[in-house]
Structure 1
Amino acid sequence: MAYSYEPHRFEEFEEGQTFLSPGRTITETDVVMHSAMTSDWNELHTNKEHAKERDFGERIVHGPMTFVQAIGMVMRIGILERTAYAFLGMNYMDLPNPVHIGDTVSLEIEVAETKSLESRDDVGLVVFETEMTTQDETVVFQGDLKFFVLTADE
């Protein structure tokens, strides 16, 4: 499976299409930058001694950071480069397992739905089912991401 794709207009997406992101190793710097950007310095993520006493026995990555990485991976593969008009939200998001510092994550994306809009001819709705896994195939994120994508006429 390829890891880099050409930008897609709305009409080029078909239900069932799949895309795979390149892997990315989550680093200490990533966690510190996320903490600084969000002001979330929860000790489960930032205090090694405190985290040792918790369920996972070590610091884990922020759940919202896992979501942000998923969005970044969608954009990184290129299918929405200059064609994403708006991120509209999600119907669901699950974080079934934590991401650990040092994990390498990747995202599989499947086109779940495409829908033309009666009210607009410049964009269409594309819904992606996504699943992020670690290097050992542990699922750490699942969710549907909804985007307006530019049409070929735009």
Structure 2
Amino acid sequence: MAGALMRTIDRWYEDYEIGERRETVGRTITEADIVLHAGQTGDFFPHHMDAEWMSTQPAGQRIAHGTLILSVAVGMTAGDINPQAMSYGYDRIRFIRPVFIGDTITVVAEITEKAPHTKRPDESGYVHEVVSVTNQRGETVLVLTHLYLVNRRATPSLH
């Protein structure tokens, strides 16, 4: 979405439909991405930074941090600004396959579940979106569930 204009759009809990999907364009992971992420997180493990050592390991080359791919993938799905929703967290995060320098990832996000808020069901609800990340070969590299807390439309009071 680099360079894309973001728009603000009100989308309420009632507007989300189970099964709706979003797909992104690709993004190639670069050595600069890995180096920047290592600097930001302090994770300089040789798996990400030492090309010579990794050439002796089963993967054969440096791999991107799982947290880098998670961050990039979630960012790739960020589009419209919705004042009625906020990220509530991530569940069931799985790093399934390594992502290498030069791999291009794409993301599919699908609404799979909705549930009323347990304490304030008239005010908000949870929307679960399964985020699947694949590489250029169509192999799944990461899957997670993104949870949103979304406002419900106010019901008119009958006074």
- TM-score, normalised to structure 1, is 0.84
Identity across matched positions, percent = 28
Structure 2 residue 67 is matched with structure 1 residue 64: yes
d(CA) in 1 for partners of 2:19 and 2:37?
Answer: 33
Q: CA RMSD in A?
A: 2.2
Q: Which amino acid aligns with 1:61?
A: A
Runs of 4+ in 1 over 4 A off after TM superposition: 4-7
- Structure with the greater alpha carbon radius of gyration: 2
2:111 corresponds to which letter in structure 1?
A: V
- Counterpart of 2:136? 135
**Counterpart in the other structure of 1:107:** 107
Q: How far apart, in 2, do the equivalents of 1:5 and 1:130 lie? A: 21
1:40 matched to 2:43:
yes
Structure 2 residues not aligned, in runs of 5+: 155-159
Between the two proteins, the alignment pairs up a number of residues equal to 147
Cα distance, 1:11 vs. partner? 2.1
- The code of the aligned residue for 2:135 comes to T
How far is the alpha carbon of 1:72 from its aligned partner?
1.1
Q: Which ranges of structure 1 fall in alignment gaps of 5 or more residues?
A: none
What code does the residue aligned with 2:104 have? T
Quick check: 1:70–1:132 contact (8 Å CA) kept in 2? Answer: yes
Moved more, 48-57 or 7-16: 7-16
Following the alignment from structure 1 to structure 2, what is the Cα–Cα distance between the partners of residues 85 and 17?
17
CA–CA distance in structure 2, aligned partners of residues 29 and 9 of structure 1:
38
| Alpha-carbon distance, 1:10 to partner | 2.4
After superposing the two structures, state which structure 1 stretch, 41-50 or 142-151, moved more: 142-151
Task: Give TM-score, length-normalised by structure 2.
Answer: 0.82
Are the aligned partners of 1:109 and 1:129 in contact in 2 as well (CA < 8 Å)? yes
